[in-house]
Structures are given as C-alpha cells and as structure tokens.
C-alpha cells in the first residue's frame, strides 16, 4: 500500500507479538498508556518512512488506545515520547 512517498506495512493489522514488542520497547517495563486518556494501548502497525532529521529510512510503530487515539514513535528510538499520528484512519482510529 502506497501513501504518498510512504510505504505502509501492516496497517490495521495487529503485530505478531504485541505483548513481546511492548515489553521490548517499554523503557520501564510498563504497559504503554495513551498520553491523552491514560487508556492502555496496543501495537497496530508499522509505517516505513524517511526521517527528516537524519534522512534515514526507518519505521514508526503505531499504537491505538481503547478510545481509538493513535500515537506513533520511531521504532529505533523507543525512549522518545510518542507523537500523535496525523493519519489515524490508517489504524481504525478516530479522525481529528
């Protein structure tokens, strides 16, 4: 699936091992919660894109909470804060 210059992989599909991924990514070994409503989140897909900062092609990991807010972060920078996903409809989230 092509979206502009971004290749979307697994959009809308659960990750194979969301719990294992969460445990591997969480800095403090806690289940990630939505920064907006504090609902627990699940991994919902990866988006391959080019990072403006260093020009590197890497993936964003997307997360969806119980209230269908969609957040994502660079998969290789799990300790950085989550960012609000600008394309929530890709992951069955609430459009803004």
Alpha helices in the chain (DSSP H): 18-25
Say whether residue 69 binds Zn ion (CB under 5 A).
Answer: yes
Nearer to Zn ion, 9 or 30 (CB): 30
In whole angstroms, the minimum distance from the beta carbon of 1 to Zn ion comes to: 25
Say whether residue 94 binds Zn ion (CB under 5 A).
Answer: no
Q: Is the Cα torsion angle 32, 36, 37, 43 positive or negative in sign?
A: negative
Binding segment for Zn ion (CB under 5 A), chosen from 13-21, 31-39, 49-57, 79-87, is 31-39
Say whether residue 34 binds Zn ion (CB under 5 A).
Answer: yes
First to last CA, the chain: 22
Say whether residue 83 binds Zn ion (CB under 5 A).
Answer: no
Name 71's Cβ contacts closer than 8 Å, sequence gap at least 6. Answer: 34, 35, 41, 62, 63, 65, 82, 83, 84, 85
Question: Interface with Zn ion by CB under 5 A: which residues?
Answer: 34, 36-37, 39, 65, 67, 69
């Amino acid at each position: 699936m092509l979206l502009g210059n971004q290749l979307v992989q697994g959009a809308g599909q659960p990750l194979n091992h969301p719990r294992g991924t969460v445990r591997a990514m969480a800095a403090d070994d806690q289940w990630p919660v939505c920064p907006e409503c504090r609902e627990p989140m699940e991994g919902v897909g990866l988006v391959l894109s080019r990072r403006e900062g260093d020009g590197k092609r890497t993936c964003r990991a997307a997360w969806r909470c119980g209230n269908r807010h969609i957040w994502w972060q660079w998969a290789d920078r799990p300790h950085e804060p989550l960012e609000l996903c600008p394309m929530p409809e890709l992951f069955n989230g609430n459009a803004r």
